[in-house]
Structure 1
Amino acid sequence: MEAIIKKRIKQVLKGDQNAFSEIVELYKDRVYQLCYRMLGNSHEAEDMAQEAFLRAYINIRSFHIQMKFSTWLYRIATNLCIDRIRKKKPDYFLDAEVAGTEGLDLYSQIASESSNPEEELESMELRKTIQEEILKLPEKYRSAIVLKYIEELSLKEISEILDLPVGTVKTRIHRGREALRKQLGHL
């Protein structure tokens, strides 16, 4: 896939806007999910994902073709989300309900493999609780936890995205995990 992306990037550099549309199609869901996990609000996640693609397009000439494109794009999206978190009121974004659904969140929209409604409800409540607790973490731990456990990226990729040494990334993941464990232990 990376070879296809690099080919599309070369086309974009030559002025082909359709090639960038193909890149957006390939990454839009993952970038949105990253932003949603960081912000906890679907509308803000959409805005930040769009902004990430816009900035990627505008700055495509600064992309080093030998790098992995997804790492570069995730760095843009993560930095935008961190900036957004820093500018917000602390509890403004904790409401991640889907409009018009009487309290249901996006997790409730995901098809379940379980046939037991009680199990589904418990699982949905657990995911919601974990997401709420992730949102309470300081942004430096939140970004490391989301990239590691939700996006399932390697320590090296996280290091590149956050522009931090691998050791610092490990520390932030460990401290974020410990903070989450304490937060969840109090529930």
Structure 2
Amino acid sequence: MIRDSRQVLTELLVLDAQRGSERAFRDLHDLWQPDLRRMARVRVDHPDSVDDVLTEVWLAIARGLSGLDDPACFPRWAFQIVHRRSADWVRKRMLDRRREEMALAEVEQLAPAAPAAEPEPSDDVTAIRAAILQLPSDQQQLLHLHYQLERSIAEIAAVLDIPPGTVKSRLFSIRETLKRKLERKNSHE
């Protein structure tokens, strides 16, 4: 395994933080917070909620860091925590939305529906982004990990706790879905 300077620094900071260094923990936070934030942002659609999720993530990291046997595993372990905390947030949000929908069902029956707005023409990048936003959050997260955070198939498999072959097949399937959506959109224009 080739270790870059960031990985070596991470390992040293983990070891120091495990020994009780608050400074090392702050430095570890500063080093990894941007990547963890980007990952959380993929699943959590509200900026304030991303901050809440990340607070929970860093609390879990602080509680569990002493039990991390291999400092080299910190990135994968931290991404797994983000994945789980984000999934918890999504589940809670879905329950909240269902409750809101049930509460508003009667109001919607009484009020006339607003006419649908005409979609504005968009360029290819906007069309791709829109198609990605229509995907389920777990598929968006997979794309984000692979293409934006440039994580390997093996790293993604470890973070999501699924076999590498499953990661490959899901990425292929997602790309095919996006391709069909874009082809359909282009054929209607």
Cα RMSD of the aligned pairs, angstroms, is 2.6
TM-score after normalising by structure 2: 0.71
Deviation at 1:143, TM superposition (A): 2.3
Distance 1:87 1:182 in 2: 31
1:81 aligns with 2:80: no
Residue aligning to 2:125: 126
Report what 2:106 is aligned to.
none
- What is the CA distance between 1:161 and its match in structure 2? 0.5
SS at match of 1:137: coil
Structure 2 residue ranges without an equivalent (≥5): 1-5, 98-121
Matching residue within 141, 146, 162 for 2:139: 141
TM-score normalised to structure 1 length: 0.71
Q: Distance in 2 between matches of 1:34 and 1:77?
A: 7
Bigger CA drift: 52-61 or 129-138?
A: 129-138
1:185 Cα offset (Å): 3.9
Of 137, 157, 163 in structure 1, the residue corresponding to residue 161 of structure 2 is: 163
Task: Answer 1 or 2: which has greater helix percent.
Answer: 2
Instruction: Report runs of 4+ in structure 1 exceeding 4 Å deviation.
Output: 129-132
Matches within 5 A, 1:172-187: 172-187=170-185
Q: Secondary structure of 1:36's match?
A: helix
CA-to-partner distance for each residue in 1:32-56, whole Å, 9 max, x for gaps?
A: 1111122233222222222212211
- Contact persistence 1:156–1:166 (CA under 8 A): yes
The answer on whether the counterparts of 1:12 and 1:20 sit within 8 Å (CA) in structure 2 is yes
Q: Max radius of gyration: which structure?
A: 2
Mean Cα deviation higher: 52-61 or 33-42: 33-42
* Paired-residue identity, %: 23
- Map of 1:7 onto structure 2: 12
Alignment size in residue pairs: 156
Alignment of 1:29-108 (within 5 A): 29-65=34-70, 67-89=72-94
Out of 27, 33, 37, the position equivalent to 1:28 is 33
Q: State the partner residue of 2:116.
A: none
Letter in 2 for 1:146: H
